[in-house]
Amino acid sequence: MKQRSLIVLALIAIFSSCSSVRLPESGNWRAALIPDSLRTLLEIPFNLQVSRLPDQSIEAKITNAGEEILIKEIIVVNDSIHFKLPVFEGTIDARLKKGRMDGTYTHRGSGRSWSIPFYADHGVSDRFPQFNVAPAANISGRWEVRVGNGDEAEKQIGEFAQSGSHLTGTFLTTTGDYRFLEGKVSGNDIILSAFDGAHALIFKANIAGDGTLEKGVFCGGPSWKGEWRAVRNDTVSLPDPTTLTFLKPGYEKLDFSFPDFDGNPVSIVDAKYAGKPIIVQIMGSWCPNCMDETRYFSGLYDRYRDKGLEIIALCYESSDRQKSAKAILRFRNQTGAAYTFLYAGESNKRKAGETLPMLNRILSYPTSIFIDRKGKVRQIFTGFSGPGTGKHYTELTREMEEIVEGMIGE
């Protein structure tokens, strides 16, 4: 950390002493990621606001519907700008021109890295300026979504809120949600996007004559893409998240030992955890749904730690333990979580499952396991419905808190 601080100070010194330095203009920027250089996929736009502070440094803020993501780690040298995105390991590097940035977004996480073009234009606040036809319908409400075709199609739930042409919403799945999406209804077109430093998402579809959504496409980077369709269904539901992951027959308790940041083994049977209610969080520092859950668990831990609650995060990352430890530490510090984080191995779900053989499978990051004072597994939740899901987040966190209070009171 000391070496990194010295590097940052050196770059700031260069920036301060260089008369040709160019600062980005304050105000609104329309930014976009281009998933492939041939532009065969939809570009992924997002809103970016830049502010100059009194000391002439700058901050930036990404907004997605109700979410604001503050970027403080920004370095400008000559006509180059570097954004270190918060929580995750992603970066944006660009050249500055008058009213324009051109460069690259680099995604890093769970042993994978890829880069795609980035650009931003100053003075534009509409993320979809080319979609400006009066909406043909209002799609607010709950939709049964099918992703893919035939027997392989995955069921999801789309929930949208439309005001005029402005559209917000999300998609709920068995393993989590797509967080805060924002966009438009333009004529018969609907289009939504989001960028949070790890997820880069865009969804598009057409409103058919019968009111269904058809010809849907989505893209989440250079390789993750697919098709979807939807019909209105106020009663559609997904499998109960407490039924998907469970202890195999013959097992009654969870057991593991993984290293902490110093390489020291930590086990759930250590004296520190004896007789205490525990939440074991299966997660990754590269995972936006895990970020949402960690922020919730951070507050939960602060409220109940004095009553005995312990939380242990098992982090599944890359095979490089040293690099993984740095990513986990950054994630922990920037989410404000004060509980224990351990390196548990690679994020490959098959390999991850082998580290916890008492579970039937690891289906999702995150998965949370609630264990009572006697070591009995009380409940297992697969996935996490974050704050972008509104009432679903409220209901889930209320259920989790009731379980914690019940275990503490025993």
Specify which of 47-61, 101-115, 358-372 reaches the highest per-range mean pLDDT: 358-372
- 2-122 against 257-408: fold identical: no
Q: Within 10 Å of residue 49's Cβ, how many Cβ atoms?
A: 17
Query: Which residue type does 279 have?
Result: I
pLDDT at residue 18 in the model? 43
| pLDDT at residue number 12 | 43
The predicted pLDDT at position 306 comes to 97
**What was the pLDDT predicted at 224?**
85
> Degrees (nearest 5) of the Cα angle 305, 307, 311?
35
The pTM of the full predicted model, rounded to 2 decimals, is 0.92
Looking at the structure, give the CATH architecture of the domain made up of residues 257-408.
Answer: 3-Layer(aba) Sandwich (3.40)
| Average pLDDT over every residue of 30-39 | 86
pLDDT in tens, 143-192: 999 999 887 899 999 999 999 999 999 999 999 999 999 999 999 999 99
Instruction: Give yes or no for residue 15 having a pLDDT over 70.
Output: no
CATH topology of domain 141-232: Lipocalin (2.40.128)
Task: Select from 2.40.160.90, 2.40.50.140, 3.30.930.10, 3.10.300.10 the CATH code of 2-122.
Answer: 2.40.160.90
Cα–Cα distance measured from residue 122 to residue 349, given in angstroms and rounded to the nearest whole number: 42
Q: Where are the domains of the chain?
A: 2-122, 141-232, 257-408
Interior angle at CA 153, CA 152 and CA 155, nearest 5: 135
Average pLDDT, the chain: 93
CA-derived radius of gyration, the chain: 23
- Residue-wise pLDDT tens digits, 66-121: 899 999 999 999 999 999 999 999 999 999 999 999 999 999 987 788 999 999 99
